[in-house]
């Protein structure tokens, strides 16, 4: 049992950047109450930290007719090796691994002048401020999030983990009701 548990923990540690997964309800809330879907019409959307199982990808596929985007691109491997996809996309929308957000992803988005909507952590706010001025990027406190995980929490008995001090980062137009 311990050998199995250790292998399982090692696997989770090695693949930590792939979890946790954003809940479908959270993604739906973003597209219904924060983002202007009409801004995405005829545009290429890139979800660089998302694979086929991502709720961003599932939501966007479910609502293709409603949003009318031109193309949806997603990759769940090392997103930082796909600069060509960042350049090709009109909008970057994802919940990236927080470990690469401040030092790799945000500088890339700034350099390429990408439009983006990202999840982030308020603990990293000093990094955000050093990269983007307040009129270049909005930081909106979101509160605590419950994320889906591939394992059952011993504390809650559910496949969720909770992260405090989360925020949205965006340079897209957002609805006044959310500002």
Separation of alpha carbons 74 and 94, rounded Å: 10
**pTM, full prediction:** 0.80
Kindly calculate the radius of gyration of the chain based on its CA atoms and give it in whole angstroms: 17
Other CB atoms within 10 A of residue 105 CB: 27
pLDDT one-digit tens code per residue, 61-117: 999 999 999 999 999 888 889 999 999 999 999 988 888 888 899 999 999 999 999
The answer to whether 97 and 49 are in contact (CB under 8 A) is yes
* Omega before 78 within 30 of 0, i.e. cis: no
In this structure, what token pair is assigned to residue 16?
A: 């930590």
Q: Report which DSSP code applies to 50.
A: -
């Amino acid at each position: 049992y311990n050998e199995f548990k250790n292998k399982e923990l090692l696997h989770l540690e090695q693949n930590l950047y792939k979890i946790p997964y954003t809940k479908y309800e959270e993604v739906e809330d973003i597209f219904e109450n924060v983002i202007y879907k009409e801004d995405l019409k005829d545009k290429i959307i890139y979800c660089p930290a998302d694979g086929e199982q991502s709720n961003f990808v599932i939501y966007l596929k479910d609502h293709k007719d409603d949003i009318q985007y031109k193309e949806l691109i997603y990759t769940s491997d090392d997103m930082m090796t796909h600069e060509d996809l960042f350049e090709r996309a009109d909008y970057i929308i994802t919940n990236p691994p927080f470990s690469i957000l401040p030092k790799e992803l945000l500088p890339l988005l700034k350099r390429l002048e990408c439009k983006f909507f990202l999840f982030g952590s308020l603990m990293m706010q000093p990094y955000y401020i050093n990269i983007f001025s307040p009129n270049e990027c909005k930081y909106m406190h979101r509160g605590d999030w419950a994320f889906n995980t591939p394992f059952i929490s011993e504390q809650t008995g559910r496949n969720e983990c909770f992260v405090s001090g989360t925020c949205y980062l965006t340079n897209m137009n957002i609805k006044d009701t959310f500002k």
